[in-house]
Amino acid sequence: MQLLLASSSSYRRELLRRLRIPFDWAAPDIDESALPGEAPADYVQRLACAKAQALRAQFPQHWIIGSDQACVINGTITSKPGTVAKAVAQLQQCSGKTVQFFTGLCLLAPDGQEYCLMEPFAVQFRDLSDAEIRRYVALEQPLDCAGSFKVEGLGINLFAALHGRDPNSLIGLPLIGLLELLRAAGFEPLQLAE
C-alpha cells in the first residue's frame, strides 16, 4: 500500500506517524472558501475530499488521505488566528462556552472510490480571565491552530471538559476514524505498521 497525506500540516504528519504506517505527503492546492450557506459539517467534508482529489493525478497509485477542520464559535466558522491579537480575541469569545469542531476525513482509493466520515467534537471552555488568555497565547503561540489552542500542549489548561470520541480530531486528523476507513477499504492497520 502506498499512502499519501494530502496536507502541508506538520500537526497532521505527526499524528499519522503515530500509526507507524509509511506515508508520503504533499500539499494540495485548493480553494478553501466556504460556499454560501454551507453547513460546517458539509464544508469540512467537501474540503477533505477536494484535498485528496487535488493530488490524485499526481499520485495515481496512492491511497490519499484528505482532512479538513473547522472551529465554530457563536455559529460562525472561524479561521486560524495568525496574530496574537486575533488569538486573544478568539479565546475571549470562547470563554465559558462550548465550541464545536468538525473534522472531515476522506480516504481516496487509486480507483477513485472515496471512504469518508465527519468527526464532531465539542470543547467546553472554563471562564477565562484576560490575564489567563494573554499568558497562554504568549507561552504557546497557537497562531496556526483552529480555536487558538493546542490541546496536546498547554491548551488543556483552558478547558472544563472535552466531548467526543477522538481528541486527535482537535489536532486535525481523527486517527480512530482513519483506522475505521482503512479497515472499510480492506486493510488491517496493524499489518501495515512498521
Angstrom distance (rounded) from CA 24 to CA 1: 11
Consecutive sets of 10 residues in the chain, 194 residues long: mean pLDDT of each? 95 96 97 92 97 98 97 90 96 96 97 97 98 98 94 95 95 96 97 96
Per the residue annotation, which of 29, 68, 111, 127 is the catalytic one? 68
- 62 in the Ramachandran plot: left (φ > 0), alpha (ψ -120 to 50) or beta? beta
User: What's the pLDDT score for residue 75?
Assistant: 86
The pLDDT, as a whole number, for residue 74 is 87
What domains can you pick out in the chain, each with its CATH number? 3-192 (3.90.950.10)
CB 26, CB 4: distance < 8 Å: yes
**Euclidean distance between the first and final Cα of the chain, in Å?**
13
Q: What is the dihedral of CA 85, 88, 90, 91, to 10 degrees?
A: 180
Supply the pLDDT for residue 48. Answer: 97
What's residue 108's pLDDT?
98
Per-residue model confidence (pLDDT) at position 183: 98
Residue whose C-alpha is closest to residue 64's, from 13, 112, 12: 112
Question: Is the distance from CB of 126 to CB of 159 less than 8 angstroms?
Answer: yes
149: left (phi over 0), alpha (psi -120 to 50) or beta: beta
68 an active-site residue?
A: yes
Question: What is the DSSP annotation of 48-91?
Answer: HHHHHHHTTTT-TTSEEEEEEEEEEETTEEE----SHHHHHHHH
